């Protein structure tokens, strides 16, 4: 499935339930200066329009909406100027699923197998060896850092344009092992609504992910509506080359930056240059991003997604090798951050479930 | 002069001549979806409204406006979708002056003198020694790279917030040696108009500068209307620290990235993730950025500013140690890129001259 048709497919699925809401939100985004945010928010409060229809009523949804209403209200002591409304979202396990393994890992496995003949040393070097031996259990022990190593190592030598096409070709054909659907079908409908809700309220939304920046950029724009230049992630080094008079950027087999844990606030400062007021994540790898946001002198919002739904998605937290949420959960409880209980707070997980 | 009052001052100066045009442009930017770009462009062509009033009529101005009109015309074979309309601008010598030395160098000199007691080794180490001895001639021989070294070395140990305040305090008091005005007064009025013109036509504008990213971010938003997260520049490494439970980003005394020459396309790819269609620079340090833009499959525009006005600004090119334009000028001539002849193409240089 090409990115284009993926987008069309995605749009079709969500249309049945949320088309009206999204159209209204888009209208505000498209011409925010002519819209009246107060009218919109008042309508929402009165239940006339719900910008977060896939979120069940309750303290989680209320805390998000009350925050947004307060900080966008010029008369409030919590008012935040538009230029300071920076919202950052982790990607894996936060905007789309990350089980039974990071989706980028499935991509990397296919790439490693395709590239293995050129790299005989991988047969005896971890974590490559476990990939080639289909030994997922061993592979998982290397965690997100191991994934980053694998992915970065397998991306070298391509131009940016070539790699973008490789990712799009993979997304067009690969299927998730449990749901037998394209990976981009496994984005969270409630989080899409949250992104649009924040955008409609003049927040500038960024992805801040431990995943590879060049793996995300080919598709996040169409799937999340977040521009390529608003994606912060891990990266490998690149170089500028002139080949036959044509300027190109090529990837090099060396890590440039790991955008995880303490790297997330560093990446935010480097790319965004401003402390977020709203941060959303799901693992201990996001903790420093939430701590950094929490230190904002403006009223800030920290949101953790707790995977509690083994039936519709997955349930995991303190013991998981993927997306472990342990210290973060303690700190969220201690500091009163908002924690999404996926099972109880979301009435829909994926856009394709809106069909039912 | 604080950044806030600087902005007010700046706005006041340009008001006399361009207030109408800017208001019209802002209207298009503020609500582009309700505006009709075709009407705007037709009006411009017929001379009803001139979005570039500080540019003299002639081939330079025409080439810019014809390009913008073509690529924003949906009926044209040269049409470029909004998401691909990325415009990148060098800063030093391109959006503001860079003589008799990079303005960041004047800032760095003051910082080095202030920090010298803590660094006795600087007395005998270049390029610091020449700074402390007020030996500008020697200092100049180290070029832009030397400047970057100096600046980066003097920024370590501050938090991002502290450094932002140091820059703002300096801008509030420091005066340019020739014009005896705040440095932010020496931005180019014609380039401000060009930035607004491109923004009004749905281009996303970025600064891509060899200068330090954290030196630019505190003021470019107010002076150019370019958000902090659309600034690409040289940088030093930073680290995330928790001090007394408060999360901070601190600068480290180590270079992270030099955004100059071949570094510019690398920085563009890293931060923006998309090849620009419009690139504007003034020196050989911008050549690779223009080459990279020139390789775009969409119709692209390369703009060089040639400093030819010794009376109103400065005249320098092939032999200058600052902002040397030599290879770039040859390549511009060879490839038919547009070269601004400052003396003949601009009827005003700085906003404060609009008073006259």
Tokens of A307: 């995977």
Which among B193, B198, B194 has a CA at the least distance from the CA of B69? B198
Query: What Rg value do the Cα atoms of chain B yield, rounded?
Result: 20
Angle (deg, nearest 10), helices B59-71 and B37-45? 160
CB contact under 8 A, B295 and A238: no
Unique residue bearing structure tokens 């609504």: A193
- What residue of A is the nearest CA neighbor of B292? A247
- pLDDT tens-place string over residues B320-342: 989 999 999 999 999 999 999 99
pTM for the model stands at 0.85
User: Distance, in angstroms, between A288 CA and closest chain B CA?
Assistant: 8
Q: Walk along chain A (356 residues) and give the pLDDT tens digit of each residue.
A: 333 333 333 333 333 333 323 322 332 333 333 333 333 443 444 555 899 999 999 999 999 999 999 999 999 999 999 999 999 999 999 999 999 988 988 998 999 998 899 999 999 999 999 999 999 889 878 876 777 778 777 777 899 999 999 999 999 999 999 999 999 999 999 999 999 999 999 999 999 999 899 999 999 999 999 999 999 999 999 999 999 999 999 999 888 998 999 999 999 999 999 999 999 999 999 999 999 999 999 999 999 999 999 999 999 999 998 999 999 999 999 999 999 999 999 999 999 999 65
B224-B225-B226-B229 Cα dihedral, nearest 10 degrees: 130
d(CA B233, CA B259): 5
Helices A37-45 + A3-30 axis angle, to 10: 100
Chain B: which residues have CB within 8 Å of chain A? Answer: 30-31, 33-34, 83, 86, 160, 204, 206, 213-214, 217, 221, 227-231, 235, 238-240, 242, 246-249, 256, 262-263, 265-266, 269-274, 288, 291-292, 294-295
Residue B48 — very low, low, confident or very high, per pLDDT cuts 50/70/90? low
Residue that the structure tokens 């833009």 belong to? B293
pLDDT at A140: 79
* Closest C-alpha to A155, from A205, A94, A88, A216: A216
**Distance linking the first and last C-alpha atoms of chain A:** 23
Residues of chain B with Cβ-Cβ distance to A152 below 8 Å are: none
Provide the ipTM. 0.85
Contact A301, A338 (CB under 8 A): yes
DSSP at A183: G
Whose CA is closest to B194, among B344, B16, B340, B6?
B340
Interface test with A, best of B270, B288, B298 (most A CBs within 10 A): B270
Reduced to 3 states, what is the DSSP secondary structure of residue A177?
coil
As a whole number of angstroms, the distance between CA A95 and CA A274 comes to 22
What pLDDT sits at residue A31? 31
Chain center to CA of A231: 9
Closest by CA to A253, choosing from A154, A165, A118, is A154
Q: What is the pLDDT of residues B147-160, one digit of tens each?
A: 777 877 787 789 99
Q: How far is A50 from chain B (nearest CA, A)?
A: 24
Q: What is the pLDDT of residue A48?
A: 59
Residue ranges of chain A whose CB lies within 8 Å of a chain B CB? 30-31, 33-34, 83, 86, 160, 204, 206, 213-214, 217, 221, 227-231, 235, 238-240, 242, 246-249, 256, 262-263, 265-266, 269-274, 288, 291-292, 294-295
H or E stretch covering A117:
none
On chain B, the residues whose CB falls within 8 A of the CB of A266 are 238-240, 249
| Per-residue model confidence (pLDDT) at position A150 | 82
Substitution target in B269, B288, B300, B302 with the highest count of A β-carbons within 10 Å is B269
Which of B137 and A159 is assigned the larger pLDDT? A159
Task: Give pLDDT, residue A268.
Answer: 98
CA distance B119 to chain A (A): 27
| Rounded distance between C-alpha atoms, residue B2 and residue B318, angstroms | 36
State which residue of chain A sits closest to B247, comparing Cα positions. A292
Strands A301-308, A315-316: pairing kind: antiparallel
**Can you tell me the distance from the alpha carbon of B335 to that of B279, in angstroms, rounded to the nearest whole number?**
14
* Burial class of residue B326, CB neighbours in 10 A (0-12, 13-18, 19+): middle
Taking CA–CA distances from B287, the nearest residue in chain A reads A247
């Amino acid at each position: 499935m090409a990115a284009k048709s993926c987008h069309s497919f995605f749009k079709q699925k969500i249309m049945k339930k949320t088309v009206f809401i999204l159209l209204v939100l888009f209208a505000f985004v498209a011409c925010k200066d002519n819209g009246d945010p107060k009218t919109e928010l008042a309508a929402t409060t009165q239940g006339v329009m719900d910008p977060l229809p896939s979120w069940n009523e309750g303290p989680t949804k209320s805390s998000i909406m009350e925050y947004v209403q307060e900080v966008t209200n010029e008369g409030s002591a919590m008012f935040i100027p538009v230029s300071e409304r920076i919202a950052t979202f982790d990607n894996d396990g936060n905007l789309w699923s990350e089980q039974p393994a990071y989706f980028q890992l499935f991509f990397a496995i296919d790439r490693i197998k395709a590239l293995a003949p050129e790299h005989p040393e991988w047969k005896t070097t971890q974590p490559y060896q476990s990939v080639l031996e289909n030994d997922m259990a061993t592979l998982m022990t290397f965690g997100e850092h191991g994934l980053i190593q694998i992915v970065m190592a397998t991306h070298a030598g391509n131009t940016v344009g070539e790699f973008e096409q490789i990712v799009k070709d993979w997304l067009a054909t690969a299927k998730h092992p449990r749901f037998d659907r394209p990976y981009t079908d496994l984005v969270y409908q409630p989080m899409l609504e949250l992104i649009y809700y924040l955008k409609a309220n003049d927040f500038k939304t960024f992805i801040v992910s431990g995943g590879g920046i060049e793996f995300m950029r080919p598709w996040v724009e169409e799937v999340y509506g977040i521009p390529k230049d608003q994606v912060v992630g891990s990266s490998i080094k690149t170089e500028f080359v002139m080949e036959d008079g044509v300027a190109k950027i090529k990837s090099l087999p060396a890590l440039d930056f790991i955008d995880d844990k303490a790297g997330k606030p560093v990446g935010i400062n480097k790319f965004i240059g401003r402390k977020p007021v709203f941060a959303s994540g799901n693992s201990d790898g996001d903790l420093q991003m939430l701590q950094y946001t929490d230190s904002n002198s403006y009223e800030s919002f920290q949101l953790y997604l707790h995977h509690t739904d083994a039936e519709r998605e997955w349930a995991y937290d303190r013991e998981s090798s993927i997306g472990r949420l342990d210290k973060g959960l303690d700190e969220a409880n201690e500091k009163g951050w908002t924690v999404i209980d996926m099972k109880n707070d979301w009435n829909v997980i994926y856009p394709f479930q809106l069909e039912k």
